[in-house]
Amino acid sequence: MRFPALHRFLLPFAAALALAACHHQNAAETSGGSTPEAAVQESAQLIRDGDFNGFWKHALPPADYATMRADWSELRPADRPISPADRARFEQAMRQLTAPDAEKTLYAELKPKLQQMEKQYKDQMPVMIGIGQAIAGTAIAQSKTLSEGQKKQANDVLATLLPWAQQAPWFDQDKARQAVDALVATARQLDLKTPDELRTLGFDDAMKKYGEAFGGLKKLLAIYGLSIDDTLDSVKATTVSVEHGQAHVQIAYTLLGKPLTADAQMMLDHGRWYDAALVRSVRQAHERAQQSRAAAAASAAAPAHAASIAPAAGSSAAAPASAGSVRAPAKAPAQH
């Protein structure tokens, strides 16, 4: 499943350092937050820890969490079919990443390629990254799902990441070795041999794999100077206003040392606070799943209905033929 609005939590939401360890442990077991700020910060702490199952359990009202689990197989994205070539590439990559001594083997292969790429692309890298920023900025501007405020927040993040991406030591040999080690460790932890395995995972197993992959991504980015944990730890959530069970929360945080802000709308449900956009998107996904089930049931019922009326139609058509097949009684011979 494509997580609805999950990207909203990765940078702006984080746990306040003042949260006690026992309070965090209870967050995964308690739905929602006692205050709007607590809901934001506890959800972000669970994401920081890679506990995506705990995140969904905490971030959704109990009924919505239950329906999400029940709908999981139908909420998976309608990805294009896996081509034989894509399957072969995935399987080969996983074999290479999980092979004995994969760290040494892969780094030995990467080292000369990295040296060649440094000579060829080092001077061009800032320009190439700048072009990438322009493409991403255009996509943000043309987005029909982001509000103007969200577009501004996304552009602020993009502008902050650009200098880092242009100056990061992408061709550093020691960091490349560390990156290979992180990739190999993550691949071994994921233990996926085919892409089909990922698509057929149940909810609990999928959440575990997502957490493992997220942990590997954080390690990889940290090697090149971008600490997701530092960003999450810097978050401070403040309630701006509360009215009729709705709260406007502003989140201040730092990304690569630059202060940024984001906004979230929270909703009150049975005395607990939840991210309104996240709950709404999950409920809409559930409605789509129900519609899909209804359409599938109707499609399956149509042939059965047609088959049930076919014999009746056939018998009525055959009736005249049957009547015609009955011979008239033979005439008695004439008497002379």
Question: Using one digit for the tens of pLDDT, what is the confidence trace for 180-230?
Answer: 999 999 999 999 999 989 888 999 999 999 999 999 999 999 999 999 999
List the structure tokens of 58: 């905490």
Given this model, what pLDDT does residue 56 score?
Answer: 96
Alpha-carbon torsion 59, 63, 65, 71, what sign? negative
**Range with top average pLDDT, 2-16, 208-222, 321-335:** 208-222
| SS3 assignment for 44-103 | HHHHHCCCHHHHHHHHCCHHHHHHHHHCHHHHCCCCCCCCHHHHHHHHHHHHHHHCCCHH
User: Is residue 265's pLDDT more than 90?
Assistant: yes
Q: How far apart are CA 158 and CA 136, in angstroms?
A: 8
The b/e string for 161-187 (b: 16+ C-beta within 10 A; e otherwise) is: bbebbeebebbeeeebbbbbbbbbbbb
Q: ∠ CA 234-240-245 to the nearest 5 degrees?
A: 115
Residue predicted with more confidence, 18 or 47: 47
Lowest mean pLDDT among 5-19, 56-70, 75-89: 5-19
Local structure of 5: helix, strand or coil = coil
Given this model, what pLDDT does residue 76 score?
Answer: 65
Given this model, what pLDDT does residue 19 score?
Answer: 38
User: Is residue 283's pLDDT more than 90?
Assistant: yes
Helices (H), the chain: 7-10, 21-27, 36-48, 52-59, 62-70, 72-75, 84-98, 102-121, 125-141, 148-167, 173-190, 195-199, 203-223, 228-233, 276-325
User: Is residue 14's pLDDT more than 80?
Assistant: no
Residue range 268-291: average pLDDT?
A: 93
Q: Do β-strands 258-269 and 236-243 pair in parallel, antiparallel, or remain unpaired?
A: unpaired
Q: Do β-strands 236-243 and 246-255 pair in parallel, antiparallel, or remain unpaired?
A: antiparallel
Given this model, what pLDDT does residue 150 score?
Answer: 87
User: Is residue 20's pLDDT more than 50?
Assistant: no
Across all residues in the chain, what is the average pLDDT? 83
Alpha-carbon torsion 127, 130, 135, 141, what sign? negative
Question: Using one digit for the tens of pLDDT, what is the confidence trace for 146-168?
Answer: 888 889 999 999 999 999 999 99
Alpha-carbon torsion 72, 77, 78, 83, what sign? negative
Lowest mean pLDDT among 18-22, 141-145, 156-160, 174-178: 18-22
Residue range 39-53: average pLDDT?
A: 91
User: Is residue 170's pLDDT more than 90?
Assistant: yes
Given this model, what pLDDT does residue 44 score?
Answer: 84
Q: 129 has which bridge partners?
A: none
Given this model, what pLDDT does residue 320 score?
Answer: 46
**Distance set, CA 116 to CA 122, 167, 220 (Å):** 10, 19, 22
pTM, to two decimals: 0.77
Domain boundaries, the chain: 7-122+171-290
Given this model, what pLDDT does residue 16 score?
Answer: 35
Contacts of residue 20, defined as CB under 8 A and 6 or more positions apart, other chains included, come to none
